[in-house]
Amino acid sequence: MLQRSMNMDDMDKRILIELQQNARLTNVNLAEMVGLSPSPCLARVRALEQAGVIARYVALLDPQRLGLNVSVFIQVSLDKQVGTALDRFESAIRAMPEVMECYLMTGECDYMLRVVVDDVQALQQFIVERLSKVAGVSKIRSSFTLKQVKFNTALPLHINGGRSAKSRK
């Protein structure tokens, strides 16, 4: 079982801030940016990986350059909010690559999805042929995004007793 959190110092947080901005940094460059020599820097990165703080490294792609021009938030309500129905829905959603994010919610809907597709016809096909056919789905409400105002993958980390570290673009 992974620990909930690791006891990190400000140096660990500086390393994480830099890696969140550019995970392709060489260890030498990372060490220079955070003010360590390469060997201790690498040891810290490996410890953060082993503790599960660094879960994985990914490449962030531009959806529009790939023709994925429609981003939609979809609220889904289920007939019943019991364990088996929730498990069945979540399993079905995990198999749908268009679903970028899925959250179990409080409030008026049971789940909130963020879906990315090529166009409105692809969205219609996704909703009618796939999402609405998942057992237990009783209500689907969708909202198109008009403009992405903010998109950030870097988690806010606080250094020196509460001051939030500034992210660079």
Give 121-142 pLDDT, tens digit per residue. Answer: 999 999 999 999 999 999 999 9
Q: Judge residue 157's burial from the number of C-beta atoms within 10 Å of its C-beta, 0-12 exposed, 13-18 middle, 19 or more buried.
A: middle
Give the predicted TM-score (pTM) of the model: 0.85
- Do 126 and 72 lie in one domain? The reply is yes
Helices and strands: H and E segment counts in the chain? 5, 6
Cβ proximity of 123 and 70 under 8 Å: yes
- Give the C-alpha separation, 80 to 130, whole Å: 19
Reduced DSSP (H G I as helix, E B as strand, rest coil) percent helix, strand, coil of the chain, to 5: 35, 20, 45
Q: How many whole angstroms separate alpha carbon 69 and alpha carbon 145?
A: 10
pLDDT above 60 (res 43):
yes
* Predicted confidence (pLDDT) per residue in 143-169, tens digit: 999 999 999 999 999 998 654 555 444
Residues 27 and 41 in one domain: yes
Inside any domain, residue 105: yes
The residue type of 22 is N
Query: Is 152 inside any structural domain?
Result: no
Is 169 part of a structural domain of the chain? no
Q: Which domain CATH number covers 124?
A: 3.30.70.920
Q: Give the residue numbers spanning the domain of 37.
A: 10-59
CA distance 60 to 140: 29
Q: What percentage of the chain carries pLDDT values higher than 90?
A: 88
What is the total count of domains within the chain?
Answer: 2
Question: For the chain, what is the mean pLDDT?
Answer: 92
In a domain, 167, yes or no: no
Q: What is the arithmetic mean of pLDDT over 60-81?
A: 96
Band (83; pLDDT cuts 50, 70, 90) = confident
Whether residues 83 and 131 fall in one domain: yes
Six token digits for residue 8: 């990190």
Same domain flag for 109 and 83: yes
The answer as to whether 164 is a domain residue is no
Q: How many CB atoms lie within 10 A of CB 131?
A: 23
Report the C-alpha gap between 36 and 48 in whole angstroms: 16
